[in-house]
Amino acid sequence: MIACYCRVSTNDQKPDSQRHALTRWLNGNGIPAQHVQWFEDTETGAAIRRPAFDALQRAVFTGEINTIVVWKLDRISRNQKDGTTLLADWCERGVRVVSVTQQIDLSGSVGRMIASVLFGIAEIEREHIRERQAAGIAVAKQKNVYHGRKPGSTKATPKRAWALRRQGLNKTEIARALGVTPQTVWRYLKQEPIQPKTMRVELYLVVENNNSFVRGKTRSREDIEWDILSRYQMEKPDKGGNRYILTIPYQTDEELDRIINDEILGEAHRIADLRNGFIEADVVSLDDPNRSW
């Protein structure tokens, strides 16, 4: 089994570009979807304990995974010691590691050596970002134009602090992972985490070519399923049909509208358009029969 691992640092970031690059690698190497398992995290690279990454580690330990594919090695870790230790363990278990954008294929002792250098560069890059930020703040303070974050804003988010807490990290470890002080973590954990609502919807999606001389609607549908619909616990009642059941997490009705109209339908249209095609789609709520898009 092949594992594809994606990671973004914050909820504002999207893993779409990573998923697209990994999917292209899989397709280019003729690897069928049923041989691939996806793992996806929204956590900082400084923290080694992440929900999807923990699941990946368990799969490696049980021998289910023989190849791990990532967009870039720093998706695994931005810490040289942790990253090198992980790779050494994987290589000893006979696991192959592929970094798509860096175009490297790591295994054995040579792979461990190369990875050690690359992880070290990622760690230096992270420290340089912090140094540049600190230098910029110092200059701003000298000019009396730096006043800190606006009241009510946070460097990280209470939700991320709670997620790390549920993974078993203590306050000091959470502070290190989020780049804040333990006092800030204590303040975050005093706030009750907001549980997102979910809505199950039925999507009817047809992908067509613009004319009879164009080919690509099958590939467009595959990309839409992999890059977009799979994020929402996609169920397909009829394997060859046009109906999908999606479960969408959201906080407000405005956010739900944006997810459906922009992140699902808008992105699906963009993917079809890239291959000179178009989509016809309807979305109906299964939880609220009066809602449709």
List the catalytic residues. Answer: 9
Q: For the chain, what is the HEC assignment?
A: CEEEEEEECCCCCCCHHHHHHHHHHHHHCCCCHHHEEEEEEECCCCCCCCHHHHHHHHHHHCCCCCEEEECCHHHCCCCHHHHHHHHHHHHHCCCEEEECCCCEEECHHHHHHHHHHHHHHHHHHHHHHHHHHHHHHHHHHHCCCCCCCCCCCCCCCHHHHHHHHHCCCCHHHHHHHHCCCHHHHHHHHHCCCCCCEEEEEEEEEEEEECCCCCCCHHHHHHHHHHHCHHHHCCECCCCCCCEEEEEEEECCHHHHHHHHHHHHHHHHHHHHHHCCEEEEEEEEECCCCCCEC
